[in-house]
Amino acid sequence: MSGFNNMLYFAGVVEDNNDLSNAGRVRVRAFGIHPPRASEGDEDSVPTEHLPWATVLDGSYGVSPVIPNVGEWVFGFFVDGREAQQPMIMGRLPGQHLQMPYGSGEPGEDGYLPPESVNQFGKPDLHRYQGGEGASQGQTLAQRVLANTNIPQANGETFDEPPIMMPENNYKNRVIASADGDNFIVLGSGMDGEASDYFLISHSSGSVFQIDANGTIFVKAFADKYNTTQGIESTYVRGSSHSTIDEDYTLKIGKSGKIQVNGRLDIECTDFNVRAARNINLDAGVKVNVSGGGVGVFATADDINLVANTNIKGLATLGGMYWKCLMPGNPAGDGGDFHVDSYKTNMYSIAYTKIHSTGTPAISAQLLPFPDVGMNGIDISSSTGLKLQSNTAMNLTCLTNMGISSVGTLGLSAGAAMNLYAIGTLGIGATLAVSLDSVVPAASVLIGSGTAAATATSTAGSLATSLATFVAPGHVASSNVPNISVTELAKVVKPQEIKNAPAPEIPAKTKRWWHAITNIMRSDDDE
């Protein structure tokens, strides 16, 4: 290696950096050693593919090696001296590129510059975040113009996105940029408290990550954003946390979930649906209030239970209260029954009270106060007294037989006349004496026979006039019981089905990566 003793230094321009050996080498046309580019067929020309590959010395020791771009000027030496076949690149020559490449047709064109270098024309050597030139170039201006302001929050307040740091003339900045300079990392350097002390990662799409001089972190994606963690993710916010989402929000938890709020929790939405595979429990230390234009409670397979330590109250301000229990009876149980058990029972009606029974035989297993099976009609029982009182007329009407029986004394008294009349035979008897008397001395006690038409007519007429005036004509003579069954049935809408959100589409790049990993694992298994 005698060339190390007599190395030949050179300056040149990079024409090719596509090293298929992945060694980071470049082809350089050295000024004064290789002739300039000439027209095709020139015998003295040296095509790019005939230039020797030059090794680029890496001062970063592999941390972030930089390969010179096509069209950049470099400085180096030939290890083999005048043979000029083993070049090495020591570094780039800084400067602003203001020359047109060969073949552009411009006067004074330099045959040493490759056509690809036309894209570098006028570009300053330093990045715009160091030299400060080209502040309106790249994505920085778009990031500022497209910054969102007055973003509404759930607490009623608004906020603005922090501004993106602009390029400045600060040679203390450290910039790691892509080959075209559109993707870069800036380590801003400034005095304590200065705005120039920041950290910036900027992508050509506009997506950005920034930490300003105050330590405020700002992340913005101009496309989709994905966060994945294979382990545990813990988030601590000492102040407040606000999220504003313009479209949909979904949350899926594989196991259990818990939300704990020390203060108040408010949820406002258009429709609110909650679905649980098993139970839903609502527990309040003081009171549970439910309010709505309509409130429905629907039990699809079991009972609805209402329990209160004091009172259960129901109030209908404009309508009524309706209960219907007409489902088919269960021979082994009590299906279709309506029960009210209370210490006292009060029924109050301003206008009218109706109690009707159609007389269908009961199917029931109840035994108290007596077996219900086969029973029909209406039973009113009392262990002590039973009182029927009316301030006007009272009618007891029966289309077949009526019995009035008392173990003790039975008294029938009328403030005016009392008539006992039978179409058939009327019997009045007693174990002891039968007394027929009149309190008024001038009156008489009449005992007639069927030939006394006047007596029969008078008695029947007075009985008819004694009937209460509210009984509709034909009610006594008809066996039809009016149908007063509940027509206002309870209407409950079953809660809306909550469908699972569709799984996000996997990007094509991720699919290719996953297929490649899968194929490698399969090949390992085969071996």
Q: What is the pLDDT of residues 235-278, one digit of tens each?
A: 999 999 888 898 999 898 988 999 999 999 999 888 888 888 88
Considering the domain architecture, whether residues 145 and 208 belong to the same structural domain is answered as yes
pLDDT digits (tens, 9 = 90+) for 310-329: 888 888 888 888 888 776 55
Least confident among 96-100, 244-248, 359-363: 96-100
Query: From the CA atom positions of the chain, what is the Rg in Å?
Result: 52
- Integer Cα distance of 13 and 87 in angstroms: 13
Q: Cα 245 vs. chain centroid, distance in angstroms?
A: 12
Whole-number pLDDT of residue 105: 54
Neighbours of 329 (CB within 10 A): 19
Confidence of residue 477 (pLDDT cuts 50, 70, 90): very low
d(CA 274, CA 97): 66
Co-location of 188 and 94 in the same domain: no
Of residues 69 and 496, more confidently modeled: 69
Residue 288: its H or E element: none
Cα distance between the two ends of the chain: 47
Rounded mean pLDDT, 122-146: 77
| CATH, residue 89 | 2.40.50.260
pLDDT for the residue 362: 81
Give 76's pLDDT tier (boundaries 50, 70, 90).
very high
- The model's confidence at residue 470, banded by pLDDT at 50, 70 and 90, is very low
Residues 67 and 137 occupy one common structural domain: no
44 domain-assigned? yes
Say what the pLDDT of residue 45 is.
77
Q: Could you say which of 102, 125, 148 is where a domain stops?
A: 125
**32 or 399: which carries more pLDDT confidence?**
32
Whether residue 101 sits in one domain with residue 11: yes
Say how many C-beta atoms besides its own lie within 10 A of residue 151's C-beta.
13
Residues 194, 171, single domain; the answer is yes
| pLDDT average, residue stretch 295-311 | 87
Asked whether residue 12 falls in the same domain as residue 120, the answer is yes
**Angle at CA 126, nearest 5°, toward 125 and 127?**
120
Question: CA-CA distance, 249 to 266, in Å (whole number)?
Answer: 17
Question: What percentage of the chain exceeds 70 in pLDDT?
Answer: 74
User: Parallel, antiparallel, or unpaired: how do β-strands 8-16 and 26-30 relate?
Assistant: antiparallel
> Is 401 among the domain residues?
no
**Mean pLDDT across the chain, nearest whole number?**
78
Identify the top-confidence range among 287-301, 403-417, 497-511.
287-301
Q: Which residue has the tokens 């026979």?
A: 449
Q: pLDDT (tens digit, 9 = 90+) per residue, 146-202?
A: 899 999 988 888 999 999 988 887 877 888 888 777 899 999 887 655 778 899 999
- Rounded distance between C-alpha atoms, residue 92 and residue 72, angstroms: 7
Would residue 65 count as lying in a domain? yes
For residues 113 and 181, membership in a common domain is answered with no
Res 234: pLDDT: 93
b/e code 60-97 from CB counts within 10 Å (16+ = b): eeeeeeebbbbbbbbebbbbbbeebebbebeebeeeeb
- Print the domain residue range for 14: 2-125
Q: Is residue 351 domain-resident?
A: no
Asked if 415 contacts 393 with a C-beta cutoff of 8 angstroms, the reply is: no
Contact by Cβ (8 Å): 312, 341: no
Here the CATH number for the domain that contains residue 200 is: 3.10.450.190
CA–CA distance, 9 with 25 (Å, rounded to integer): 18
Question: Which of 220, 238, 264 corresponds to the end of one domain?
Answer: 220
Q: What does the alpha-carbon distance between residue 405 and residue 402 come to, in Å, rounded to a whole number? A: 10
pLDDT above 90 coverage of the chain, percent: 19
Phi and psi angles of residue 8, each rounded to the nearest 5 degrees, phi first: -110, 110
Residue written as tokens 């190395």? 7
Could you write out the DSSP letters of every residue in 124-192?
-SS-HHHH---TTSTTHHHHHHT---SEE-TTS-EE-PPPPPPP---TT-EEEE-TTSSSEEEE---ST
11 and 117 in a single domain? The answer is: yes
Give CA–CA dist 141/165, Å, rounded.
10
Using 50, 70 and 90 to split pLDDT, how confident is the model at 3? very low
Residues 121, 33 share a domain: yes
Confidence grade of residue 462 (pLDDT, cut at 50, 70, 90) = low
Among the candidates 107, 125, 143, a domain finishes at 125
| Residue type present at position 337 | D
Report which of residues 286 and 331 the model is more confident about.
Answer: 286
Q: Rounded mean pLDDT of 437-463?
A: 60
pLDDT at residue 119 in the model: 61
CB-CB contact of 223 with 207 (8 Å): yes
**What's CA 54's distance to the chain center, in Å?**
61
Q: Tell me, yes or no, whether 191 lies in a domain.
A: yes
**Position 24 in a domain:** yes
Shared domain check, 152 and 67: no
Confirm whether 226 is domain-assigned: no
Cα(179)–Cα(172) distance, rounded to whole angstroms? 21
One domain, residues 134 and 82: no
Contacts of 51 (CB under 8 A, 6+ apart): 15, 16, 27, 28, 29, 34
**What's the predicted TM-score (pTM) here?**
0.58
One domain, residues 38 and 68: yes
If you average pLDDT over residues 386-409, what whole number do you get?
81
Nearest to 81 by CA among 6, 14, 23, 16: 6
Q: How far is CA 118 from the centre of its chain?
A: 54
Does the residue 152 lie in any domain? yes
- On the 0-12 / 13-18 / 19+ scale of CB atoms within 10 A, 38 is middle
Under 8 Å between Cβ of 170 and 189: yes
**How many domains does one find in the chain?**
2
90: pLDDT confidence band, cut at 50, 70 and 90? Answer: very high
Confidence at residue 275, expressed as pLDDT on a 0 to 100 scale: 85
